[in-house]
Structure 1
Amino acid sequence: MQRQPVVAGRFYPGDKASLEKEIGKYVAGAGQKKIDAIGCVSPHAGYMCSGGVAGALLSAIKPRDSYIILGTNHSGRGRRFGLDMSREWVTPLGTVGIDRDLAESILRSDVIEEDTLSHDPEHSIEVQLPFLQFLNRDFKFIPITISQGDLSEYTQAGKDIAHAVKDSKKRVTIIASSDFTHYEPQETAAEKDEMVIEKILDLDMEGFFSRVIKHNVSVCGYSPICVMMAASVALGAKNAKLIKYQTSGDTTGDFSAVVGYAGIAIY
């Protein structure tokens, strides 16, 4: 079975040549030293707005044989922690297979369940794949959608993912797909985003979660970020680096109501 792309031609070009040309504008050159990332945060908006951040981040980290991509469940459909292992995923750049051995190990979790329904309309995982295909032609991945929950669930899911990765002996990067503040003036968005990004850079999951909730910061993927942070710390992460930050206003010129995008590597 195959999952066909749902936002090709809208969030990114729908044909191979145009898509490769578009991504080529956003990725960094081959000369830079790559980060040995355990986890990262990558945006999931249309490439016109967030492609520069996603490209800077994903070209700054070392390629992997497998990626675990944690997406925001925007639709609310399906399981709250839903892993799709039944289908290959298709983009204009080709087909990406599932790392079934690692997926089966993750599904031993008490909170992560097998699910396709949450993935059918969801774009947050799909938009990461063309960048990975452009930068790393031979890899497998595991897609997991995450809905809002509580810290204990995020911590458990992160520990379960970390345990499966350790047992696999594979070198894996965990990508949390998220945008940051939504539809606020540029100055307000930048201030709010700096406040929560600070806690990601501190590897302080509880502090990040607390600031998102207390200050009503509209980080749509705070749940995937929390799970990624919990897993990364369990896998030994000690450092984090902000690779790039910008808002939609930096590309559209409209600073009245922007969306924030951050590319962060954890290692």
Structure 2
Amino acid sequence: MKYRDPAVAGSFYSKSKEVLQSELTDLMSYTPDPSLNVKALIVPHAGYFYSGAVAAQAYSYINQSEINPKKIILLGPNHRVGLSGCAIPSDDGFITPLGKVSVDRLFCDILLEKNFVTENDNVHTWEHSLEVQLPFLQYCLNDFDILPILVGQSEVEKVADMLSFLLDQDDFFIIVSTDLSHFNPLNKANKLDENTIANIINMQCDLLPNQACGCHALNGFLNFSKAKNWNIKLVNKANSGKKNSIKNEVVGYASFVLF
């Protein structure tokens, strides 16, 4: 079995199992609306100090409910290695301080066969956008597999078609990983992010990288969600300027649930 070691444990989140579990317990204090049959999340992927609370409020919808998904599609952007299209790793699983997470190799192979994705370990090895979601999932769920897909420059319809295909095959839960605007002064960032949040709520599928770093995954997902007539709800929003004294280069975060 081939496992991907954590790339950002000790920086984006604690490398200590005990400290990480305690941190997640503190973050998961939000009480969600139990009436929503949540099918997907949009969550940020910064260090837990910055965006952990924003992400945790969305994850609380699967932590404190009977949804209990067994198969998770993880979609996120590539930050370190260039990518055109969508890519999966060759790994059988990912490792975090909380243990191992199995990759659904069956559906990885199916996606490869259908030419929805390529296999590219280089783009996955140091990428944090999917990795930081795993401890949240491990905290919330006991038994699940992931389908980790990094989305580079891609046509909206191709990502939407891939999601439609997958949900026709099995009962997948979808998590889209993205932050909002990057490195703008606080006032400008707030205006940009409010506009982006409104576009996401309206399921507009033409978001740009300066609005959301995961725009390629997000646009395809919103196109798919719109076709499914899903509803969307903003759960929480914040930015890095609320956590430190740097106000001239802030990063925006927001989380949503779809149902």
Global fold match (TM > 0.5): yes
Q: Which residue of structure 2 aligns with residue 248 of structure 1?
A: 240
Measured in 2, the distance between the counterparts of 1:255 and 1:163 equals 43
How far 1:77 sits from its partner (Å)?
A: 4.1
CA contact (8 A) 2:30 2:57 kept: no
Count, aligned residues: 254
Aligned match of 1:204: 204
The 1-side partners of 2:236 and 2:102 are apart by 29
Q: Distance in 2 between matches of 1:175 and 1:128?
A: 9
Deviations 1:42-81 (A, max 9, x none): 1111100000101111112443111111121112346631
What is the CA–CA distance in structure 1 between the aligned matches of 2:230 and 2:107, rounded to whole Å?
24
Cα drift, residue 160 of structure 1: 1.9
Larger mean Cα displacement after TM superposition, 100-109 or 116-125:
100-109
Distance 1:71 1:97, change over 3 A: same
Tell me how far 1:246 sits from its aligned partner.
Answer: 0.4
Paired position in structure 2 for 1:37: 38
2:102 maps to: 97
* Superposition deviation, residue 218 in structure 1: 4.2
Shift in Å, 1:255: 2.6
C-alpha contact 1:84 1:142 (8 A) present in aligned 2: no
Offset of 1:194 from its aligned partner? 1.2
Shift of 1:257: 2.0
What is the alpha-carbon distance in structure 1 between the residues aligned to residue 83 and residue 254 of structure 2? Answer: 28
Residue 159 of structure 1 aligns with which residue?
161
Q: 1:265 to 1:31 in 2, by over 3 A?
A: closer
| Distance (Å, rounded) in 1 between the aligned partners of 2:188 and 2:178 | 18
SS of the residue aligned with 1:232? helix
Correspondence 1:8-87 to 2 at 5 A: 8-29=9-30, 32-33=33-34, 35-61=36-62, 62-77=67-82, 80-87=85-92
In structure 2, what is the equivalent of residue 148 of structure 1?
153
TM-superposition CA deviations, 1:121-167 (whole Å, max 9, x none): 10110000000100112111111111123xxx221122122212212
- Distance in 2, Cα, partners of 1:136 & 1:35: 18
Q: Does 1:219 align with 2:183?
A: no
Match of 1:6 in 2: 7
CA distance in 1, matches of 2:68, 2:135: 14
Unaligned runs of 5+ in 1: none
TM superposition shift of 1:221? 1.0
**Equivalent residue, structure 2, for 1:112:** 117
- Counterpart of 1:222, as a letter, is C
Structure 1 Cα separation of the partners of residues 133 and 44 of structure 2: 8
1:259 aligns with 2:248: no
User: Is the CA contact (8 Å cut-off) linking 1:41 and 1:177 kept in structure 2?
Assistant: yes
Q: Deviations over 1:83-122 (max 9, x none)?
A: 1253210000010001233333333443422222210110
The separation in 2 between residues aligned to 1:145 and 1:45, in whole angstroms, is: 16
Unaligned runs of 5+ in 2: none
Identity over aligned residues, as a percent?
A: 31
Matched-pair contact (CA < 8 Å) for 2:192–2:211: no
RMSD: 2.0
Amino acid at match of 1:198: A
